Amino acid sequence: MKLSKYVAIAALGVSVVSCGKQLERKTSLETELDSVSYALGLNTASRMQADPNAKELNEDLYVQGFYDGVDSTNMLIDVNESTNIIRQYFQKMQMEQMKKREEEMKAKTEAEYKDYKKENEAYLEENKGKPNVVTTDSGLQYIVEKEGTGEAPKLTDKVKVHYHGTLPDGTVFDSSVDRGEPSEFGVNQVIKGWTEGLQLMKPGAKYKFFIPQELAYGFQGRLPKIKPYSALVFDVELLDVVPAAQPAAPANK
């Protein structure tokens, strides 16, 4: 729900609620303004019932805020602050709901792919003991097939690379080599395993990356070829590094 919708709830809903006053109930709507007034209240109540966050509002303070705003006296907060308070609260609620949905999805996915996850973990555990395999603190594994020269790319640089990506069983899911055209992208625009691995290389280098799912696509995968919890294997050749643009020097005064 957008902020404007919440503001509408807070501003309009209380107009049909009494605050220490006796509500005069009507049995008919006699004028156009009567119809609009009733429709606004009815519509607001309907929205509130449909939204769990709105249902949690403190009704007494909800009504008090409306009447304090009408006569502009004895306000507990500055009226200009109210919009920020509403925005921050419902943004927090939205983030919590998103996190909850993600955790539920993750639990469901892990139950479905638990055997596949174990297979990939076993593959990496065995692989790290093979000759020439280096394992970093993050869990990234790599083999240096050819060293390069010059400066390794930084996080803010762009790179030009050739690569060939497979699953542990050899299934190819992406390959600039097969397409016959190198790819260019920012070092910080790819999965974590690539971002880390590229910064170990120098132009002209050829590395083989073995990337655990935590540094790749995790429980989400990238269907249809990359299942959840897939480890990824890449042959990577760093062709060139394009340094980040340097800020212009200040003009002499």
Q: Could you tell me if 133 and 226 lie in one domain?
A: yes
Active-site option among 90, 163, 210, 229: 163
Catalytic residue status for 217 = yes
SS3 185: strand
What's the pLDDT at 60? Answer: 79
Q: Could you tell me if 70 and 133 lie in one domain?
A: no
Catalytic residue status for 207 = no
What's the pLDDT at 13? Answer: 47
Residue 47 structure tokens = 């929205």
What's the pLDDT at 151? Answer: 95
What's the pLDDT at 250? Answer: 55
Residues of the chain with pLDDT under 50: 1-20, 253
pLDDT tens, residue by residue, 98-119: 999 999 999 999 999 999 999 9
Distance between CA atoms of 114 and 95, rounded to whole angstroms? 27
SS3 83: helix
Amino acid identity at 129: G
What's the pLDDT at 16? Answer: 42
Query: What is the domain extent for residue 134?
Result: 115-242
Q: Could you tell me if 132 and 211 lie in one domain?
A: yes
Neighbours of 226 (CB within 10 A): 20
Catalytic residue status for 143 = no
Of 186, 189, 208, the C-alpha closest to 197 is 208
Residue 168 is part of a domain; what is its CATH number?
3.10.50.40
What's the pLDDT at 81? Answer: 87
What's the pLDDT at 57? Answer: 75
Active-site option among 173, 219, 235, 240: 173
Active-site option among 116, 191, 235, 240: 191
What's the pLDDT at 133? Answer: 98
Active-site option among 113, 207, 209, 234: 234
Please give the distance of CA 53 from its chain centroid, rounded to a whole number: 21
Q: Could you tell me if 135 and 64 lie in one domain?
A: no
For the chain, the domain total comes to: 2
Residue 153 lies in a domain: yes
Q: Could you tell me if 68 and 140 lie in one domain?
A: no
What's the pLDDT at 102? Answer: 94
